[in-house]
Structure formats: structure tokens, C-alpha cells
Chain A
Amino acid sequence: MGQFALTEAVYYILLSLQSPLHGYGIIQNVEELSHGRVKLAAGTLYGAINTLLEKHWIEALKEDPESRKKEYVITPAGKTVLEEELQRLKELVENGTRLLK
């Protein structure tokens, strides 16, 4: 953990799941956060969610009996990964700002 960069999709998914959301909610949230730039496709999101569940970076909440939609939320382990990634991104941005003329 830590030495690899997160993909843009995973970064935004983790960021979105600081409060519980279902699949489509994640797509909407990511699109909004990125001002329409990142449009997650359903298959890609599904694959990412399953990998994140296996890594225990997110967890599935019990289904809402009314809507029957499965919701997901970030775990403490996921939050650590997100914080480490943010540090890495900060470094990139700082160096970019400092060195790009």
C-alpha cells in the first residue's frame, strides 16, 4: 500500500464514499465532483467496487429494504489509503506549480 498511485476512478470513488452511496449515486457524485469530466461506466465501476471490497477499503451496507439498492461506504483502511494518495497528489501539484514555467 502507498507506493502505487490510485487510478482516477478509484480515487474519486473512495472520495465519494465518505458518506454511503449506491452505484448510481457514485457515478453522479463523481461526475459532479469533476465538473462532468469523469464519467464512470457501469462495468468499470462494478469492477472497481468489487476490487475495493476485496481489499476492505470499502464495505457494503445492508440493503435499504425500501429501495433494495446496495450502498457502500469507505472503511478506516480506505481512508488511510485516500490520505496517503492525497499526500502524493500534493507533492505532484507542489512540484508542478514550482517548476512549471
Chain B
Amino acid sequence: MRKRFYKLFLVGQMEKEEQWLNEMADHGFLVLNVGKFYFDFNEVDPGKYRIKVMMLKGSKNSEKNQDFYRFLEDMGISYVDGMNFPGVCYVYLKMPKDSDVNQLEMYSDVDSKIRYNRLILGYMIFATIAITLIGIWNFYMAFGRSDNGVSWLNAFMTVILAAIVIYGIVTIISCLITGHKLKREKRIHE
């Protein structure tokens, strides 16, 4: 039986999202489709699957990414669904818990971890700048047109967007710290 849950995760909250999807899988709900604000689940035996959420370059349907899914398929990891963002995509993967490749980590060496962190960082910077610009526009629409009075809808949107921008900045800082730690590690270890 299918079940739909409404939930919103912001970009950069992949780990939280993955954790939630794994909890759902442990309770017998395996993610099937992913929308912007919802997740569709299929009822399965509890605790049978593991879910991995990761960011990839380009569209979820690009030839390069399709090739990656095929490669994963050989190891018993299958593509569930994906979501496109400008220049990147999120993909949702599942693997049976009893399979031989029972791993949540997709990257095992410092180099590939650095590359992955850089991908997330780049997207977070882009998204935060975009939302800042929309926020400034909303601020102008709310308070900048004195002849029309204050537009409360735009004022409300400005507050929401400002909160998202703060979240974006915090995520960017945490990405930078991770990147810095990895690079320091790389100086002495592989």
C-alpha cells in the first residue's frame, strides 16, 4: 500500500533527510517517489532496506549519472528517485540491508570526500546568493514603495527568506570547515 507524507527538507539537509528516510524504512515504509514537499512510500517488511541520499552533478537523467546508477546496480544498490536543481541533482538510492555491499558511505578516500564537499559547497553558495537576491527584492516590494504603504505579504516573505539565508550561511560555513579539515588531513594522509 502506498502512503504519502508531507515534509520539507532544505537543500543541504541531506543527512537529516537520509536519517529520516532510514527511520521510515525501519518502520516498514520504503521511499518510492520524492516531490518538493512530499514523499511517497511503499509498505515493505520493516528494517529490510537502507537509504542513501546524495548530490550529483548535472541532471538526474544525464547520461553520466545513468551510467553511475548502472554501476551501482551491479552492487545491489538501486536508484529510487531523483530531484533536479539548477546544475545539480539529489538522488535517492536503496540497498537491501542483507546484501554484501551494506554501506552508507559513498566515498572512502580523502580526495573523493573533498570533491563531494566542494560540490555541495558550490551549490549552497549559488542557492544562498539567489535567495538573498529574492529577499532583497521582497524587502524593496515591502518597504521601498512609500506611495503604496507597506506590503505585509512581501514583509512576511522577507523574514522567511532572511531565515533561509542565515541557514544557508551556516551550512556554507560548516562545508568550509569540513573542507579545511579534509585538506589538512590530505597533507599527511591519503
Contact = CB atoms under 8 A, between A and B. Distances in A.
Interface of A: 7-9, 22-24, 27-28, 39-44, 46-47, 49, 69-70
Contacts, number: 55
A40 B111 CA distance: 13
Range class of the B interface residue count: 20 to 34
A26 to B, nearest CB: 10
Interface string B79-122: 00000000000000000000011010111110110011000000
Contact of B112 (A8, A44, A70): A44
Interface of B: 54, 68, 70-72, 74-77, 100-101, 103, 105-109, 111-112, 115-116, 190
Nearest to A10: B109
Main secondary structure of the interface of A (DSSP, over half): helix
A42 B77 contact: yes
B109 A7 contact: yes
B16 to A, nearest CB: 20
Nearest to B115: A47
B190 A70 contact: no
A46 B112 CA distance: 10
A44 B75 contact: no
